[in-house]
Structure 1
Amino acid sequence: MVEITPKTKINDLLNAYPQLEAFLMQLNPKYKKLKNPILRRTVAKIATLTQVAKIGGYETLDLVNRLRKEVGQPPLNETDIEESKEEEAPAWIQKEPKIVVDANKLLDEEKNPLAEVSRELKNLGSGEILLIESDFLPSPLIDTFKEQGYEVYARETNGKTFLTYIKK
């Protein structure tokens, strides 16, 4: 049995509780991307429930407790959850991006967004910007590129589109 927490990886969750895949897809249409085999083999292995909650527009505690209830685990308290605060937009995002990547198109073509963006970043010079457009917050990619030392900023534009800026 896997205890469901904000740090649980989506891949581990679905391996332990396969029935939660259908539950998640009913919860939010954005989670239908979990059916994509490329996404399941790549991003699902690094994405935590905190990141999955952001993608779906949920508070982490709410999503985690819904999943816990589905498998018979008791709910967590507010004190068990660390929410990140909204960061202020950096001035560098005003600069025209050198490369624009459509993450939804990549997923539709069964391509790996992490690999594609990594490849494109190699073509950027110092200080240049890559922009990822998507209908979801690509939290796992954001965290990965931050860990690699890139400056990253993401924002929602109209309730349907997320713009993620990566500065080399």
Structure 2
Amino acid sequence: MSYDIKEFDINEGTLIGDIAKRYPFIREFLIELSPKFAKLKNPIVFKAMSSKATIALVSEKSGFEVEDLINKIKNHIKEKSL
């Protein structure tokens, strides 16, 4: 499947749920990125968080800088597009 990162702006206010709707593999990527996200394996927890958690919040919880997290997500989407 091909994904086009250019058509979807990802910034600090973007909801994780919006990214996951467009790029479903992001959920697993976040879980692999930080053990702090292990709870996202639970579909109920993920659903609850996906409508509230912004990139800024995820960044804060994971210990990554906002721009660093955005770049990691964008790079992962690009990798999946190859």
Work out whether 1:35 is the aligned partner of 2:41. Answer: yes
Deviation at 1:13, TM superposition (A): 1.0
CA distance in 2, matches of 1:38, 1:20: 16
CA distance in 2, matches of 1:25, 1:68: 16
CA distance in 1, matches of 2:44, 2:27: 16
- Secondary structure of 1:24's match? helix
> 2:21 maps to what in 1?
15
Greater relative contact order structure (CA < 8 Å, 6+ sep): 2
Give percent identity, aligned residues only: 35
Could you tell me which amino acid in structure 1 is paired with residue 21 of structure 2?
N
Work out whether 1:52 is the aligned partner of 2:58. Answer: yes
CA distance in 2, matches of 1:26, 1:40: 14
Deviation at 1:53, TM superposition (A): 0.7
Q: What CA RMSD, in Å, does the superposition of the two structures yield over aligned residues? A: 1.4
TM-score (norm 2): 0.76
CA distance in 2, matches of 1:42, 1:19: 18
In terms of Rg, which structure is larger?
1
TM-score (norm 1): 0.40
Equivalent pairs, count: 72
Could you tell me which amino acid in structure 2 is paired with residue 13 of structure 1?
I
> 1:65 maps to what in 2?
71
Q: Larger strand proportion, structure 1 or 2?
A: 1
Structure 2, unaligned stretches of length 5 or more?
1-6
2:20·2:27 contact (CA, 8 Å) conserved in 1? Answer: yes
Could you tell me which amino acid in structure 2 is paired with residue 57 of structure 1?
G
CA distance in 2, matches of 1:64, 1:58: 9
Deviation at 1:3, TM superposition (A): 2.1
CA distance in 1, matches of 2:51, 2:41: 14
Deviation at 1:21, TM superposition (A): 1.7
Deviation at 1:33, TM superposition (A): 1.5
Deviation at 1:41, TM superposition (A): 2.4
Runs of 4+ in 1 over 3 A off after TM superposition: none
